[in-house]
Amino acid sequence: MEFKDYYEIMGVKRDATQDEIKRAYRKLARKYHPDVSKEKDAEARFKEVGEAYEVLKEPDKRAAYDQLGANWKGGQDFRPPPDWDEGFEFRGRGDAGKDDGIHSDFFDSLFGRGRGGPGAAHQRSFNMQGEDHHARIAIDIGDSYAGATRTITLKMAEVDEQGRVVTREHVLNVAIPKGVRSGQQIRLAGKGGPGIGAGKSGDLYLQVEFHRHPIFRADGRDVYLDVPVAPWEAALGAGIKVPTPEGSVEMKVPPKSRAGSKLRLKGRGLPGNPAGDLYVVLQIALPPADNETAIAAYRKMAADLPFNPRAEMGV
């Protein structure tokens, strides 16, 4: 079934006022009225204009159509959403199921056939759930460890007094749950698009992202950080302090550690059930040869240690 763009049929913009829609209808109705028009398709065009006006002249119908039609374009194969008819209320006049050919199949699929018939379309109110909205929220990784409350400002669609969909700013206080992961969604019930009639508002889904942190990086619930150690700490073993998002802790570097070795702090990752782990990735930090004592020490190491760092490359 082809989607009908009622705004295009009426020759008005989507943000047209009700008065503009009324004037456009009167002009087109005079032009295509079968009793006076000489256009060869006058009768079909007259019905098409009348159908478009029936939807756009009533704010609740127009708002419902705007929400539905935002994701469709003329000529595409169209099917109403599965939940479109949930919550529709009828005050019909006993002509349910009657199809007198006044409206198109597109109109009947939304407002008529099977829902009280075309004659009942004038007699009912619309109860349609609002659209779900999606947005992103960036937080610090520490917010996941302790939980937090953040204030966000979103531009959201609303239906104004004239039945037009307008964009307004909304300020929301968002509770960041403890243990939330990057990529996870926070659902704010009823904070999405407004419902039509007695229909409930949709939900707002916030996709969580972590701000880039200077030392910590998260992978699921696990957290990683690179920790520099001196060559003798890696070679001989040592006790060192390691930063975590919840404060520094003591840990042991085992003897004969190498650059890239991973040490696990169990349960020190993001909170959860179970909690993630924190992995310390060792990086060998060389003292600078910026004085005579350091230079002499490097010369002694070169003489005393037969070490070729490129041996595994075969050179």
Kindly state whether residue 184 falls inside one of the protein's structural domains.
yes
Q: Residue 62: inside a domain, yes or no?
A: yes
Strand 278-284 with 222-229, pairing: parallel
H/E element, 53: helix 42-56
Burial 206-243 (b: 16+ CB within 10 A, else e): bebebeeeeebebeebbbbbebebeeebbeeebebebe
Q: Could you give the number of structural domains in the chain?
A: 3
Q: Is residue 15 part of a domain?
A: yes
Examine the fold and report which residue of 123, 157, 178 is the final residue of a domain before the chain moves on.
123
Q: Is residue 294 part of a domain?
A: no
The pLDDT, as a whole number, for residue 96 is: 33
Judge if 160 and 247 occupy the same domain: no
* Contact (CB, 8 A) for 68 and 3: no
For residue 30, what is the DSSP state? Answer: H
Cα separation, 215 vs 229, whole angstroms: 15
Contacts of 94 (CB under 8 A, 6+ apart): none
Paired residues of 135 in beta bridges: 206
Query: One digit per residue, pLDDT tens: the chain, 315 residues?
Result: 677 888 999 999 988 888 899 999 999 988 988 888 888 888 889 989 998 898 888 777 787 777 765 555 544 555 655 555 444 443 333 333 334 456 777 777 666 544 444 444 444 455 667 778 888 999 999 999 999 999 998 877 666 666 566 778 889 999 999 999 999 999 999 888 777 667 788 899 999 999 999 999 999 999 999 999 999 999 999 999 999 999 999 999 999 999 999 999 999 999 999 999 999 999 999 999 999 999 999 999 999 998 888 888 887
Token output for 236: 């001989």
The DSSP bridge partners found for residue 206 are 135, 186
Calpha distance 75→22 (Å, rounded): 26
Q: Which two tokens stand for residue 249?
A: 């802790």
1 inside domain? no
DSSP-based three-state secondary structure for 254: coil
Q: Which domain holds residue 144?
A: 133-210
Say if residue 118 is in the same domain as residue 12: yes
What's the one-letter identity of residue 248? S
- What CATH number has the domain bearing residue 247? 2.60.260.20
Is the pTM for the entire model greater than 0.85? no
Q: Which residues does 78 contact at the CB level (< 8 Å), separation at least 6? A: 1, 2, 3, 72, 106
d(CA 123, CA 104): 18
Contact call for residues 98 and 119 (beta carbons, < 8 A): yes
Count of Cβ atoms closer than 10 Å to residue 92 Cβ: 17
Give tens-digit pLDDT for 79-88. Answer: 655 555 444 4
- Residue 302 covered by a domain: no
Residues 204, 131 contacting (CB under 8 angstroms) = no
Note whether 119 and 137 are same-domain residues: no
72 and 96 inside one domain: yes
In a domain, 311, yes or no: no
CATH number at residue 21: 1.10.287.110
In this predicted structure, what is the pLDDT of residue 240?
96
